Amino acid sequence: MEHQVFTKLRAEMAKDGLDALVAHSLDNATYTAGFQVPSHAMNRFRRTITVLAGSDFARQIVVNVEENLARERSRFADIRSYNQFTDNPSDLLADALIEAGVGSGRIAVELDFMPAMDFQRLERRLPEATFVHARDLYFRTRMVKTDEEVALLKQVGELTERVMGDIIDGLRVGKSENEVGAEIMARMLEGGAAGVAYQVGSGIRSGIINCKPTAKEIEAGDVVRLEILGDLDGYRSNVTRTLVMGTPTEEQAKIWAVLIAARDRCEAILRPGTTVPDLWTTYRDHLKSNGLEPSLTFLGHGIGRTIHEEPYLTETREIDLQANMTHTMEPLYMLPGRMGFHVEDMYRITDDGAEKITGHVVPNDVLIEVPPR
C-alpha cells in the first residue's frame, strides 16, 4: 500500500482535476518523500524533485551524489538520479511525465518556487501540457496532519518546552543574551534536535519582534523574551515565554493579563468548524476593548514541516478548523524602545475540541517572575 501522504496528495489532485503533481521546494519535496535530501538545503544548483501522476506513478529525482541515501530513506521506490555537470534535471522530469502518460495533461508545479529556466525547459519539452500552480494544493494537504506527524510535533514540542524551563531556571543578572542563546542551542542539540533557532531579547530589546541575541547583559527589572524553534526529524516547534527579572510593575501585569485573557477566549473556541477569521477577531476585539492594539496582523500560524504554514490565523484566511490541524497561537504586544510581551504555544485540533501540545511544562497564566539573583 502507498504511504498515507501519497494517498492524501492523490485525493487532492483528483479534486483539482490534475494529472500530475510536482514538487521542487525543500518543504514540499521533503513532505512528499518523507526525508530531506541533505544538499537540497545547501546547494541551489542541485534540484530535488518529486512526481506523483495518475493513480499509481511515483518517482523522485535527485542528484547522483544523493542517490544511495535517497534509496535508503525515501518513501519513493522509484529513484532516478542525474549528473549535476552533464544532465539537466528538467529533462528527467519531462521524461517521467511522458512515461506516466501525462505529457499533455494538466500538471501542477510550484510556480512560486521552480526556477524560471527549469520551467522554460519543461514547457519546451511538453508543449501540449497545461501547467498550474501547486502551492494551494500543498498548503491544503499539509494543514491536516497524519498521526505520525502529530507524534513528531508532540515530541519536539515537549523537548522545546523542557529546555525552555531549564533556561528560565538558569537565568541570572549579568548573563548575556548570547550566553543564553548558546545554552538554548546546546540543550536542544543534546536533547536530540537536528537543528534550532532562537530569539533572546532583554530590557528595551524585548520590544523588538525578532530579537536576535546580542552581547547585552540581562539586568534586574528587565523584561526578557525567549523564543525557541526546534527541528526534530524535519518537524518544527515554536515556543515563546516572557518573564521579568524581579517583580512585574502594575503596567506589565495588566498588559500580560489582557494577552492571556485573549488567549483563553480563543482557546475556548478551538474546535472543528470554528473559522480562522473568528479566532482572529476574538483575539483582536479583546485587545482593543482593553486598550491594546495587536502588534501583528495574525494570532498564530500552522506548524509542521516548516515553522510558518497555513493556516495563518488572520482575517484573510477563509478556512474552517479541522481535526488534526496543528498551529500556534502567539499573543504579542510590543512597546518599541521600552519592552515587549509574547507568549506562544502549539495546539492540535481534536475531533471535538483542541489540545495544547505545549504549555504544560512552563505555565504562563501569570507573568513569570525570576528572582534577580
pLDDT means per 10 residues in the chain (373 residues)? Answer: 95 98 97 96 94 97 98 98 97 98 98 96 98 97 96 98 98 97 98 97 97 98 98 96 98 98 98 98 98 97 96 96 98 98 98 97 94 83
Instruction: Count Cα neighbours of 141 within 13 Å in the Cβ-side half-sphere.
Output: 23
Cβ neighbour number for residue 336 with a 10 Å cutoff: 11
CA distance 224 to 342: 10
pLDDT of residue 1: 84
pLDDT of residue 373: 77
What would the CATH number be for the domain defined by 4-142? 3.40.350.10
Under 8 Å between Cβ of 132 and 4: no
* CA 99 to the chain's CA centroid: 35
pLDDT of residue 287: 98
What are the boundaries of each domain within the chain? Answer: 4-142, 147-370
Q: What nine digits make up the cell of 49?
A: 524533485
Under 8 Å between Cβ of 209 and 295: yes
Nearest by Cα to 239 from 325, 347, 373, 323: 347
Distance in Å from the first CA to the final CA of the chain? 59
CA distance 179 to 200: 10
pLDDT of residue 372: 79
pLDDT of residue 258: 98
Burial pattern 227-259, b for ≥16 Cβ within 10 A else e, equals bbbbbbebbbbbbbbbbbbbebeeebeebbebb
CA distance 149 to 25: 19
Largest CA distance in the chain: 71
Cβ neighbour number for residue 333 with a 10 Å cutoff: 21
Cβ neighbour number for residue 214 with a 10 Å cutoff: 14
Nearest by Cα to 157 from 303, 324, 336, 10: 303
CA distance 300 to 298: 6
Which pairing describes strands 235-236 and 332-335: parallel, antiparallel, or unpaired? unpaired
Under 8 Å between Cβ of 48 and 81: no
Which pairing describes strands 106-109 and 130-133: parallel, antiparallel, or unpaired? parallel
Give CA torsion, residues 342, 344, 349, 350, to 10 deg: -120
Which pairing describes strands 130-133 and 20-23: parallel, antiparallel, or unpaired? unpaired
What would the CATH number be for the domain defined by 147-370? 3.90.230.10
- For 40, which DSSP code? G
